[in-house]
Amino acid sequence: MKDENKEKLKEYLKWKTAIKMGLGGKVLKYGWSNLTAEESGKIGGIVSRKLRERDSKNNVKNN
């Protein structure tokens, strides 16, 4: 995957996760920097897991 597409995917997943967690309004109003470390870490962990799962599925398809 191209770097630009991967960054767009990360951004999409970050927003999707924040919204699912009920933090979308907070991010829109105050920005990402106003999330707590716990909130940011939770979002980052979920995004990382989803990217790893996606990459492992792609590797299985390519083998």
User: Is 44 within the bounds of a domain?
Assistant: yes
| Residue 63 placed within a domain | yes
Please give the sequence-ordered ranges of beta strands (E in DSSP) within 1-63, or none if there are none: none
- What is the predicted pLDDT for the residue at 1? 58
Query: Residue 46 sits in which domain range?
Result: 36-63
Note the pLDDT tens digit of each residue in 10-61. 999 999 999 999 999 999 999 999 999 999 999 999 999 999 998 888 776 6
Distance CA(40)–CA(18), nearest Å, equals 9
Task: Establish if 10 belongs to a structural domain.
Answer: no
The answer to whether residue 60 sits within a structural domain is yes
The answer to whether the predicted template modeling score (pTM) of the entire model surpasses 0.95 is no
Domain count for the chain, please give it: 1
Task: Give the separation between CA 3 and CA 10, rounded to whole angstroms.
Answer: 10
* Residue 9 domain flag: no
Q: Per the domain annotation, does 50 fall within a domain?
A: yes
Ramachandran sector of residue 35 (left: φ over 0; alpha: ψ -120 to 50; beta: rest) = beta
Q: Please tell me the predicted confidence (pLDDT) of residue 33.
A: 97
